[in-house]
Amino acid sequence: MTATGRSVLAGVLIGVGVAAFLDETVFHQLLHWHHFYDGAGLEAGLVSDGIFHAGGWIAIVVGLFLFADLQRRRITVPKRVWAGGLLGWGVFQVYDGLFQHKVLGLHQIRYEVDLLPYDLAWNVSGALGVVVGAVLLTGRARQVEAS
Amino acid sequence: MNHAHHHAGGAGWWPALLALLVALPYLAAGLRLHRRGDRWPAGRWLAAAGGVTVLAVALALPGAPFALHVAGHLLLAMVGPLLLALAAPVTLALRALPAPGRRRLLRVLHGRPARVLTWPPVVLVLDLGGMAAFYLTDLYALAHAHPAVMALVDLHMVLAGFLLAVVVAGADPLPRRPGLVGALLTLLVAAAGHDVLAKLMYARVLPADGGTPAEIRLGAQVMYYGGSAAEVALAVALMAGWYARGGRELRRDLRRRSAPASAPTPAPR
């Protein structure tokens, strides 16, 4: 894989991992907005949640090691790392917000409040990440020759 | 039901004896290498000592309340086996055994049973199947009534956890070691399966014999988050191995590129 491709991949993995980590620690653990298990969701939801929980952790570890490898070979393309990171984070956010929360009904962002502003903030921020990531991905970037 | 005797006798002398059974051959082989002047890396000595200690502690932990039993299970089936896999016991055996013994071990390693047992789908079924059978069925109650069944369950957990750790992150040679992507996919399925099983324990309040619903739910959360921590450790071990191999290749390339240029014909200047 090219240095550019590997930069994007490292970014995507770190972005997905950070989104999953924030979701897990901030909203589940610190704010207690989400619950561990609602008892409302389908069991398909449990599987989807399990894959994303496990995948998020693994993605962040793999992404950081890939990034360290790019750095030690001095072939990182920083703009593409950011592009991948924002895309990964945004896609995860929107997947979680639209598919897991709404379609599977796994859990909601918060309970006993008007959900609309929360859902909007959640999904719009994710969509913004996707757009900015896509712009960074297609824009010009300095190519680094592999030494 | 008497929850004080979870691990076939609770504490006592036998966990220490079992740990010694694992530790003594390793110690003997390592010392043999040292006596003939070969070095066995300090990190592997430490991993072996840590692994044996973790297994002994896990077996000596009381089985109640349920959260403590789960903590013991995590140590026994995930943390201990990972450390033992990092200790590379098969590599040590191959280096320490005299030629006939080494040939016999190689035959076993290349045989069909070893190939099947280290094939990732089989490892995953052994690992997740064992956990599902123990925590989601009546096997949990059965094992607590019969110490021999519990001993077999514990043995299965250690061995299945060891196979998973060897296939994902171990340093030992395998008949067909999966590549980086294969190892990561294996870890992903194992981790996701572990998370789903922990949530099923929480959702269905299983194992039914584990205690009060509150105790079982607490244990299920320990299983979920503790399991995640162990899976992160597996991922780090796997990627650290990959990073170190990449570093060795880089240094080799660097030497190869600098050596021929300087030795036969000095660069014209």
Please name the member of B188, B236, B247 whose beta carbon is closest to the beta carbon of A54.
Answer: B188
Q: B194, B200, B239: which to substitute to probe chain A, counting the most A Cβ within 10 Å?
A: B239
pLDDT tens sequence across B164-186: 999 999 989 898 899 999 999 99
A57–B232 C-beta distance less than 8 A: yes
Residue, of A109 and B216, whose pLDDT is higher: B216
Average pLDDT over residues B239-243: 96
Using the Cα atoms of residue B242, residue B247, residue B250 and residue B252 in order, give the sign of their dihedral: negative
Candidate from B184, B196, B240 with C-beta closest to A50? B196
| Residue-by-residue DSSP string for B206-235 | -STTSSSHHHHHHHHHHHHHHHHHHHHHHH
Chain A positions in Cβ-Cβ contact with residue B246 (cut-off 8 Å): 69
| Amino acid B79: pLDDT | 97
pLDDT band at B5 (very low <50, low <70, confident <90, very high): very low
The answer to whether B105 touches B93, Cβ cutoff 8 Å, is yes
Q: How far is CA A36 from CA A32, B162, B217, B263, in A?
A: 9, 29, 10, 65
Is A2 a residue whose pLDDT tops 70? yes
pLDDT of residue B268: 54
Averaged over B105-118, what is the pLDDT? 94
User: What six digits make up the tokens of B44?
Assistant: 């592997």
Task: Tell how far CA A104 is from the center of its chain.
Answer: 19
B15-40 pLDDT, tens digit per residue, is: 778 788 889 999 999 999 999 999 99
Rounding to the nearest 10 degrees, give the CA dihedral for residues B220, B224, B229, B233: 110
pLDDT value of position A125 = 84
Comparing CA positions, the residue from B242, B128, B223, B228 lying closest to residue B184 is B242
- Peptide bond between residue B207 and the one before it cis (omega within 30 degrees of 0): yes
Contact B228 A36 (CB under 8 A): no
Q: Where are the domains of chain B?
A: 13-244
| Residue B65 preceded by cis peptide, ω within 30 | yes
In angstroms, the CA A110 to CA B189 distance is 29
Query: What ipTM is given for this predicted complex?
Result: 0.85
Which is it for the CA torsion A124, A12, A68, B80, positive or negative? positive
What local confidence, expressed as pLDDT, does residue A37 receive? 67
Q: Judge: A47–B192 Cβ closer than 8 Å, yes or no.
A: yes
What are the tens digits of pLDDT across the range B37-92? 999 999 999 999 999 999 999 988 888 899 999 999 999 999 999 999 999 999 99
Mutate to test the interface with B, among A1, A46, A58 (most CBs of B within 10 A): A58
Q: What percent of chain B has pLDDT over 70?
A: 91
**Which residues in chain A are contacts of B228 at CB distance < 8 A?**
53-54, 57
